[in-house]
Amino acid sequence: MIRFAGDSGDGMQVTGGRFTIETALAGNDLTTFPDYPAEIRAPAGTTFGVSAFQIHFGAVDVMTPGDEVDVLVAMNPAALKVDLRDLRLGGTLVVDTGAFTERNLAKAGFPANPLADGSLARYQVLKLDITKLTLEAVKPFGLTTRDAHRCRNMWALGLMLWMYGREREVTIDWLKQKFARRPEIAEANVAALNAGHAFGETAEMSEYGSGYTVRRAPVTPGVYRTVSGTEALAWGLLAGMRGAGLERMLFAGYPITPASLLLHTLADLSRYGVTTFQAEDEIAAIGAAIGAAYAGAIGVTSTSGPGMALKTEMLGLAIATELPLVVVNSQRAGPSTGMPTKAEQSDLFQAVHGRNADAPLAVLAAATATDCFEVAMEAVRLATKYMTPVVLLSDAFLAHAAEPWRIPDPDELPRFPVRFRTDPAGFHPFLRDPTTLARPWAPPGTPGLEHRIGGLEKDYDTGHISYDPENHARMTRTRAAKIAGIANDIPLQSVALGADPGALAVVGWGSTYGAIHQAVRRAREEGVDASHVHLRYLNPFPRNLGDLLKRFDRVLVPELNAGQLVHLLRAAYLVPAESLSKVEGKPFKVSEILEAIRGARAP
Amino acid sequence: MIRFAGDSGDGMQVTGGRFTIETALAGNDLTTFPDYPAEIRAPAGTTFGVSAFQIHFGAVDVMTPGDEVDVLVAMNPAALKVDLRDLRLGGTLVVDTGAFTERNLAKAGFPANPLADGSLARYQVLKLDITKLTLEAVKPFGLTTRDAHRCRNMWALGLMLWMYGREREVTIDWLKQKFARRPEIAEANVAALNAGHAFGETAEMSEYGSGYTVRRAPVTPGVYRTVSGTEALAWGLLAGMRGAGLERMLFAGYPITPASLLLHTLADLSRYGVTTFQAEDEIAAIGAAIGAAYAGAIGVTSTSGPGMALKTEMLGLAIATELPLVVVNSQRAGPSTGMPTKAEQSDLFQAVHGRNADAPLAVLAAATATDCFEVAMEAVRLATKYMTPVVLLSDAFLAHAAEPWRIPDPDELPRFPVRFRTDPAGFHPFLRDPTTLARPWAPPGTPGLEHRIGGLEKDYDTGHISYDPENHARMTRTRAAKIAGIANDIPLQSVALGADPGALAVVGWGSTYGAIHQAVRRAREEGVDASHVHLRYLNPFPRNLGDLLKRFDRVLVPELNAGQLVHLLRAAYLVPAESLSKVEGKPFKVSEILEAIRGARAP
Amino acid sequence: MTVTTITDTELQPKDFASDQEVRWCPGCGDYAILKAVYKALAELGARRERTVFVSGIGCAARFPYYMSTYGFHTIHGRAPAIATGIKLANPELDVWVMTGDGDGLSIGGNHMLHVLRRNVDLQIVLFNNEIYGLTKGQYSPTSRRGTKSPSTPRGSVDYPVSACAFALGAGARFVARSVDTLQPHLVGVLRRAHAHRGASFVEVFQNCVVFNDGAFDAFTLREGAADTQLHVEHGKPLMFGAGKNRGLRLKPGKLELEVVTVDEAGVTLDDLLVHDETNRALAALLVSLEPPAFPVALGVIYCNPAPSFEAEVYTQIQAAGAARTGQGAPDLAELLRSDEGTWTVS
Amino acid sequence: MTVTTITDTELQPKDFASDQEVRWCPGCGDYAILKAVYKALAELGARRERTVFVSGIGCAARFPYYMSTYGFHTIHGRAPAIATGIKLANPELDVWVMTGDGDGLSIGGNHMLHVLRRNVDLQIVLFNNEIYGLTKGQYSPTSRRGTKSPSTPRGSVDYPVSACAFALGAGARFVARSVDTLQPHLVGVLRRAHAHRGASFVEVFQNCVVFNDGAFDAFTLREGAADTQLHVEHGKPLMFGAGKNRGLRLKPGKLELEVVTVDEAGVTLDDLLVHDETNRALAALLVSLEPPAFPVALGVIYCNPAPSFEAEVYTQIQAAGAARTGQGAPDLAELLRSDEGTWTVS
Ligand SMILES: Cc1ncc(C[n+]2csc(CCOP(=O)(O)OP(=O)(O)O)c2C)c(N)n1
Ligand SMILES: Cc1ncc(C[n+]2csc(CCOP(=O)(O)OP(=O)(O)O)c2C)c(N)n1
Ligand code: SF4
Ligand code: SF4
Ligand SMILES: [Mg+2]
Ligand SMILES: [Mg+2]
């Protein structure tokens, strides 16, 4: 695993992105994870300003950004300060000595120069004056020092591509096209890239040889690209809209980290039938989405913890009026403002229980960047088929994580056309479909179906306001039955890896998929009888889940929260599930789960 | 049990109130329940305009408003229409024939006059032209017809007081004092009261004799009064403020049914150190309460379902900043606007789980009108001692229900003085008390303790902002441990009635206390081995609760929701607790619980 | 739920009434407003199936239940947000927002600000009874200082907000005022509001007979109305009074209005200010007039149209080369192809 | 957390700085505002222990961390509500609300409306950079039409709200404006705001170098400032310009301002409007002035004091016969005795 780390201005994200593509092209399976500085732009050279990009790749499916870094490229002292802790002992450290100036060392808070004081003895350190080497390489193109300096990342990329025996063509084309309007910049970057690569070839570097080259991973044929969780989510929502045969999606949001990315991504897609609306707050955002749903579009809103809290009352209205709505929650560390840029899975309770009164809705969670595409489509399907709000749980990690993705052929995508009500005969707005229990969707504009809906309780048989006691009981039961019924319309829970029945079921949900999967695989390699069960449907649960779990001696539930799914499973099935909790704003390490598995295995 | 029912304008609440006092004076134990029309004032004479007041009394402690009515006083056709359904077969029905005019019958939606069409055959019907009799009785005082008409309720009261052999003196004094400025009105009302009473004495009524007189109930000596749940809550909060030795309470609210009553009650008590503030919405209300808590007062806010939803984000802030706050939720039927005047217990999930992130707080529930006083004091104690928001769950029923109450001697009330931090030495705002884990309360104005707090995660050791992973885990654990630790500072869970261990534990919380208690008592009289366990502490649970429940073969959990406490108990203790759910916006009937107990008993 | 089938014949006021029994207190001003809306809709030939009434919570907010059009009784204070979503999903719909002084200016003030500033094409009718009616009489943000209510037993101490001053400050482009009891006037104002493309803000002084009876008697009572009401009309001098001879002018050199009498102290008609609907400063001065010193300004006080929000949104989307509908839009395949490059595995 | 111990000697600006490293982008206008606040506090002899800075969320809202006073970094948009609670609990405290254009006017618009109308005694400083800085550059309610941002790639279409026009419409009694880079002017405005009892609203044009650099260059650049800035002073004629000879007057007979040059076309000094802080209509006209046609009005535009909310609340409570404190108040026993009657069981 490689990590590129430098100052926000050093272009580490681009460098990582390019390395990713070249690696994917080389047929390796991989996952990547960018690590941006916290919300506020920090002074250059400081530790708050460090930006990093990490790629984990190998022969067979890789699902985590990995635990320990094999090669760390540190473009300045601050980056070294922040990221060294993750470099494995004996790992390779590439540093740009040119950036280790007094000033930068001070800014990073190094009392002495670590390159000099022997504190790096436990690593293989490559001290290269990348700055100087780059400036020389690009001299011919007469750039400003600033622009020339900006080519450092390409030099570093070139070196890394050489180390792992990767190609450069695609990147070179991309550079040319990207700087089409400023050819000298393009040329300079290409030159830096080549220089870095050439440098690798030179004698001094031979000992690192191409020992790093990694075997190809077997992959299904098709056209591939890398996709981030946010992109996959955005496109999945669009694909869902298409699948439902709807004309329009209204995506209403209010900026909040890490959810804003989805708003930005969809704002660019208006040509595809999505209207984006930046509302004055999260309440107005979900309100507009509900209004749009009432008017016959699919309403979507997206936010994170604090914003989710503000949507609580409106969710109640959507449940009471039974309108199709998708609410995406990119979970972050809390409570309150917490740690806005850090990932957590702690909004599950809120999604399932967090409203006044008995107010059930459907809850789904995406497991990987590419899974976001399918889960988003499924959310639209359930929302429109059951006339209900659906909460889709993502998190700060999935929002940024990227993976290679086989681009689906639009014709192979599912279709679940909505039928708007048009027939006035016998119509009332809460007349239910006998199987789904969904009410009819009759948008304004439909002649003869004029009707009124609202948050007050309604009569089961007429849809009028009703305070009748028995009726309220009946409506409450029906709302619950409708959501519970979704269990008959979703796949039975399967085991992702391992035996069933078995000794230990490791049950997860959301972005912990990769870490759990790797841990279970390694445990099995060690001969531990462990199986991986990963939930996409958190409310309702798949109808076989209880029986499935009861076929295991023990159930371990790793979560990035204080123990929420484990609580829901215990209540639902009375299984003595145990919690493996991590609340550090970071993904699980495979080793952490593996240890717990070993521990749980012991009787 | 008696119910007075009439038009909103007929003064049924006053009538009931007076009957209550006279009954209490006669030494009977009782509970009352007013049933107001829904929020909007409806046209006079219509069924939406019916106002009723019900008194249930007997020899030994009575805790429910009772199931079936023995005597129904119907002052007009609409009242008959609405309330007859609750009159037991063979019960006594007193009607004012004078009000059964064509117009009123039509307004009430009677095709034919029920007094004439024999549809009331199954009841003992007393047809009295109360209107005419009243007008005659008050003629001497030369009132306007409107005022004269207004005396009808006193006539009916007189009759009922006679029926149950009650005194009139206190009521007569009260009337004189109430209408001190308009003696003719006072006289007329007294005359009507006496006329009704006298009428009872006359021959035609003899068959109803004083057979209704009820034995005295044994009660602890002391000075008594009737108190509603809302009054008890208001005074309990004040008593809590006194107990904590605080100078001031800021009560910030936004009107909402049925919570507004508390705002109204406290608005009158400014002389006692409470400042009330009607905010622009529920968010601002809890915001102001948090600001006040930060500034060294006890902050209190009160609302109902939809308003509670809006407070979600602010609750997160209060948890993150660890400020003492009491949030009263008068639960009503939902979801969304639902049935605003109807009671439900469906906000328990929201109180315990309804926030983003791992955000624990303390949750208490009041069981009876008088219990509101103690629970309110306890809420203030826990909030100030543990520096945490406390959610106090009440409901639409408790808000209105009234009971006789032994007025406590202020000196016997608990004291739990707050110690504000004043010493700068070693201070930081998240320095914790080793036993309670509470942080210091250092209000602005204290020299040398200037500090900054906020919603971002803080360093455990300095209180500064921190994004450190391990620190976040530690803070999350600590916040949870602090709330969990409250379990060591509250009474062990006791059994309210019945054996321990036993065959069946009937576990309740909140306003269902009376119905469950009666049902368990009757079941035990039938020889069923059932016990009543009633929870005041819903988070954390008393530390012996798990063991206690495991000592019973079965656990039945009656709730006015779709099954929320039962879920929490199953998750916490893996006990196969069963739910008895009622969601009709009405209290349980004793019979409903009794049946369930009989059923649960059967193996 | 009634099924109303469309007839091609003109709809009468009564055709806009739903089958639901109207449940306001007898004598409530809301009845009159309901009547005026029926009349206005009939007069402007509204289609029931294309008309939507959106409300929050409150007595006023029960309004949609009494209409035979589409209706959405939402939650407290949020109607403008939901109405915005409706317009964004289907700009063809004719959307009305019915709100109260608490619903629209207390809990809902922020959405009101933004829907006005964005200029979403809606008719917003604010029933101002200066009280919280539905929750039984607490004071509201428009209640005058000293209002005694269940939550302010000794009288309120905060300064009320002026609905129209707020709307103007928020950037509203249509601000008008009327009174529940002034039927023809109210109908006219509602028609003007409907004709205006963009957010039309209409404040209606509405009498709450139960909790705030007579709050507006100072200028709404028939007798004396001529002297207490100033009916503004674009291009006409600002005149009022039984004698039709009193008017408003700028205090010489000052930015203040004063009441003058024509043909007294040398005042001529030409001295009077002429109403200019498009002048925001004049509008601000007019809405601030209060009895007894001044008459209350009624009618269309400000009207200065500009393109509406949802119209601009779709103009931009079309400009971005969108097909009319999501289904007709370019194929997803094109979108899924990456600008960062794809690769093929075979 | 630093423990700052009180000295009786005068506090210097630096004494108001906390030990926390300031983390705004290099060159951010927020630094200048922070400096001005330090200076203003020192000049008016503020006590650290009695001063509280309350903020919501945003770059601007990080402000309290950089103060050595008490501080509360609350949640997005809600600072005015929390500040109101602080004042109601302890009116003696000197409370500042630091907010941004998104925090104060987007999500927080409703609380801003009500805190202004209630006239709670606070200094409210709104850092207007016409952008959402903290969340990386989305447009805000004060962004001009056509603003390209991550959420509006083709430019925003909604009409911005004017912070000061909104404040005036909300009933604010103190409205002032300054610029981050105008140090002495800003310090002066902050001192006036502090002197005003009641809600003081101060809009500061603040440059976000990263996401909206140069947004205010049209009138904030040194060169030409004399012609693009109108520094208003109560009682002084509204004049500006390099030549100190240009001014504002009312278009004859109209409610509109026009720029005139003294001693040109017969214009004399007396024709110019004289600034009257207490005239709301004038204030509304002044805040609406925009370059290039007009200069931007800076300084104390409106100041018209009235008793503040928390003061009135306590006056009323005392009138109700309250003891100074809850503990000193009448005995509960008295309260618990019922007006409906009690009875004794022995
Ligand atoms: C979130 C929420 N808070 C409070 C309420 C209670 N509530 C309903 S209507 C209302 C105010 C009504 O006043 P107004 O808007 O003036 O309407 P009116 O009844 O006077 O016509 C309030 C506080 C509610 N339904 N929802
Ligand atoms: C409830 C909630 N919604 C959204 C956010 C994300 N957020 C933080 S600051 C901000 C806007 C900041 O803009 P502004 O108030 O203008 O401050 P600036 O950063 O420009 O100084 C937003 C949307 C949040 N923290 N909380
Ligand atoms: S309470 Fe007032 S506003 Fe509401 S219906 Fe009755 S009279 Fe009308
Ligand atoms: S993002 Fe803009 S406002 Fe925020 S700190 Fe940077 S420059 Fe300042
Ligand atoms: Mg009102
Ligand atoms: Mg900003």
pLDDT at residue B207 is higher than 70 = no
* pLDDT one-digit tens code per residue, B53-89: 888 887 556 666 667 788 899 999 999 988 888 887 7
Residue A317 clears pLDDT 60, i.e. is over it: yes
Measured CA angle at C244 (ends C239, C248), to 5 deg = 25
CA B369 to chain centre: 5
Provide the pLDDT confidence category of residue B601 given band limits of 50, 70 and 90.
Answer: low
ipTM of the complex model? 0.91
User: Looking at chain A, which residue has its C-alpha nearest residue C321?
Assistant: A271
Closest ligand 4 atom, residue D25 Cα:
6
- From the centroid of its chain, how far is CA A62? 15
User: Which chain A residues are within 8 Å of C92, Cβ to Cβ?
Assistant: 445
| Consecutive H or E run containing A281 | none
B33 alpha carbon to ligand 3 midpoint, in Å?
25
Q: Which two tokens stand for residue C12?
A: 């009468």
Percent of chain D whose predicted confidence (pLDDT) is above 70: 94
Chains A and B: how many Cβ contacts under 8 Å?
221
Interface test with A, best of C55, C66, C335 (most A CBs within 10 A): C335
Which residues on D lie below 8 Å from B445 (Cβ)? 49-50, 90, 92-93
- pLDDT tens for C215-246 read 999 999 999 999 999 999 999 999 999 999 99
Secondary structure of chain D as H, E, C letters: CCCCCCCCCCCCHHHHECCCCCCCCCCCCHHHHHHHHHHHHHHCCCCHHHEEEEECCCCHHHHHHHECCEEEECCCCCHHHHHHHHHHHCCCCEEEEEEEHHHHHCCCHHHHHHHHHHCCCCEEEEEECCCECCCCCECCCCCCCCCCECCECCCCCCCCCCHHHHHHHCCCCEEEEEECCCHHHHHHHHHHHHHCCCCEEEEEECCCCCCCCCCCHHHHCCCCHHHHEEECCCCCECEECCCCCEEEEECCCCCCEEEEECCCCCCCHHHCCECCCCCHHHHHHHHCCCCCCCCEEEEEEEECCCCCHHHHHHHHHHHCCCCCCCCCCCCHHHHHCCCCCCEEEC
Q: Which residues of chain A does C313 touch, with a Cβ-Cβ cutoff of 8 Å? A: 275, 277
Order of strands across the sheet that contains B530-535: B530-535, B502-509, B552-559, B578-581
User: How many C-alpha atoms does B411 have within 13 Å on its Cβ side?
Assistant: 0
CA triple C165-C168-C173, angle to 5 deg: 145
pLDDT category, B197, cuts 50, 70, 90? confident
Which residue bears the tokens 């009572």?
C221
Which residue bears the tokens 């145990």? A578
For residues B112-118, give the mean pLDDT: 86
Ligand number, closest to the Cα atom of D103:
2
The predicted structure's pLDDT at residue B29:
73
Of the partner residues D59, D77, D138, the one whose CB lies closest to the CB of residue A278: D138
Alpha-carbon distance values, C115 to A109, C72, C171, C202 (Å): 50, 17, 10, 14
Q: How far is B226 from chain D (nearest CA, A)?
A: 8
Count of B-C CB contacts under 8 Å: 61
A316 vs A455: CA distance, rounded Å: 8
**Residues of A130-144 as b/e, b for ≥16 C-beta within 10 angstroms?**
bbebbbebbeebebe
Alpha helices in A300-421 (DSSP H): 305-310, 312-321, 348-353, 371-386, 396-400
Digit-coded pLDDT (tens) for D181-201: 999 999 999 999 999 999 999
| Substitution site in C98, C105, C134, C151 for ligand 1 pocket (most atoms within 8 Å of beta carbon) | C134
Mean pLDDT of all residues in D294-318: 97
Minimum mean pLDDT range among A103-107, B290-294, B589-593, C247-251: A103-107
Q: Which residues line ligand 4 (CB under 6 A)?
A: A 40-41; D 24-25, 28, 30, 59, 129, 133, 208-211
Residue A153 near residue A6, CB atoms below 8 Å: yes
What pTM was estimated for this model as a whole? 0.90
Q: Per the CB < 8 Å rule, is C25 touching B267?
A: no
C7 touches chain A (CB under 8 A): no
Is there an atom of ligand 2 within 6 Å of D105 CB?
A: no
Ligand 3 pocket: which of C22, C23, C24, C132 to mutate (most atoms <8 Å of CB)? C24
Q: Is D165 on the interface with C (CB under 8 A)?
A: yes
Is A276 in CB contact (< 8 Å) with chain D?
yes
Query: Which of chain C's residues have a Cβ under 8 Å away from the Cβ of D284?
Result: 280-281, 284
* D197, β-bridge pairs: none
Q: Ligand 3 test: best mutation among C129, C136, C206, C213, most atoms within 8 Å of CB?
A: C129
pLDDT tens for each residue of A547-590: 999 999 999 999 999 999 999 999 999 999 999 999 999 999 99
Cα gap D37→D319, rounded to integer Å: 37
Whether residues C151 and B278 touch (CB distance < 8 A) is answered with: yes
Counting from 1 in the atom list of ligand 1, the atom nearest the Cα of B310 is 1
Three-class SS state of A366: coil
Ligand nearest to the CA of D25: 4
Closest among A590, A535, A531, A571 to A555, alpha carbons compared: A531
Residues 259-288 of C with CB under 8 A from D: 273, 276, 279-282, 284-285, 288
Give the closest residue (by CA) to ligand 4 atom 6. D25
- Span of B276-280, C328-332, D298-302 with lowest mean pLDDT: C328-332
> For residues A568 and A574, what is the distance between their CA atoms, to the nearest angstrom?
9
Give the whole-angstrom CA distance, residue D260 versus residue D281: 20
- Cα–Cα distance for residue pair A494/A542, rounded to 1 Å: 9
Sequence-distant (6+) residues with CB within 8 A of B574 are A570, A574, A576
Q: What would the pLDDT profile of B391-430 be if each residue is shown by its tens digit?
A: 999 999 999 888 889 999 888 899 999 999 999 999 999 9
Task: With CA atoms as reference, report the closest residue to C36 among C220, C177, C180.
Answer: C180
**D195 touching B (Cβ < 8 Å):** no
B239: left (phi over 0), alpha (psi -120 to 50) or beta: alpha
Q: What pLDDT does residue A218 have?
A: 59
Rounded to an integer, what distance in angstroms lies between the CA atom of residue D56 and that of residue D70?
Answer: 15
Scanning C9-28 for CB atoms below 8 A from D yields none
pLDDT given for residue D329 in this prediction: 63
Give the distance, in angstroms, between the CA of residue C87 and the centroid of all CA atoms in the same chain: 17
Over range D172-184, report the average pLDDT.
Answer: 98
Among B8, B41, B46, name the best residue to mutate to test ligand 3's pocket (greatest count of ligand atoms within 8 A of Cβ): B41
Q: In A, residues 402-441, which contact C (CB 8 Å cutoff)?
A: 406-410, 413, 424-425, 427-429
Residue type, D84: T
- Residues A347-405: pLDDT tens digits? 999 999 999 999 999 999 999 999 999 999 999 999 999 999 999 999 999 998 888 89
Question: Backbone dihedral region of A153: left (phi > 0), alpha (psi from -120 to 50 degrees) or beta?
Answer: alpha
Q: Which chains touch D (3 or more CB pairs under 8 A)?
A: A, B, C
Give C48→chain B minimum CA distance, Å: 26
CB neighbourhood size of B418 (10 A)? 18
User: Considering chain B, what is the average pLDDT of its residues?
Assistant: 91
CB B574 within 8 A of CB A570: yes
Q: What is the pLDDT of residue A17?
A: 82
Give the count of beta carbons closer than 10 Å to the beta carbon of residue B522. 17
CB of A284 shorter than 6 A to ligand 2: no
**Ligand 3 atom 6: the closest Cα is on which residue?**
C25
Confidence of residue A42 (pLDDT cuts 50, 70, 90): low
CB contact under 8 A, D134 and A278: no
CA-closest candidate to residue A369, choices A336, A331, A403: A403
SS3 C343: strand
Beta-carbon count within 10 A of D81 CB: 32
CA distance C340 to chain A (A): 8
Strands (E), B254-323: 274-278, 298-303
Given a contact cutoff of 8 angstroms between Cβ atoms, the answer to whether B6 and B153 are in contact is: yes
Q: What type of residue sits at position B78?
A: A
Cβ count near C202 (within 10 Å): 25
Q: Which spans in A387-433 are helix H?
A: 396-400
Query: Helix, strand, or coil here: B294?
Result: helix
pLDDT greater than 70 at residue D327: no
Q: How far apart are CA B520 and CA B601, in angstroms?
A: 12
CA of C180 to the centre of ligand 5 (A): 13
The mean pLDDT value for C57-68 works out to 98
Label residue B112 exposed, middle or buried (CB < 10 Å: 0-12, 13-18, 19+): exposed
Question: Could you tell me which chains touch chain A, where touching means 3 or more CB pairs under 8 A?
Answer: B, C, D
Q: Report the pLDDT value the prediction gives residue A222, as an integer from 0 to 100.
A: 87
Q: Taking a C-beta distance cutoff of 8 angstroms, is the pair A363, A538 a contact?
A: yes
3-state secondary structure of B236: helix
Q: Tell me how far apart the alpha carbons of residues B351 and B499 are, in angstroms, rounded to a whole number.
A: 31
**Secondary structure of residue A322 in the 3-state scheme:** coil
Amino acid at the residue A159:
L
Distance from CA of B474 to the nearest CA of D (A): 19
Amino acid sitting at position B389: P
On whether any CB of chain B is under 8 Å from the CB of D86, the answer is: yes
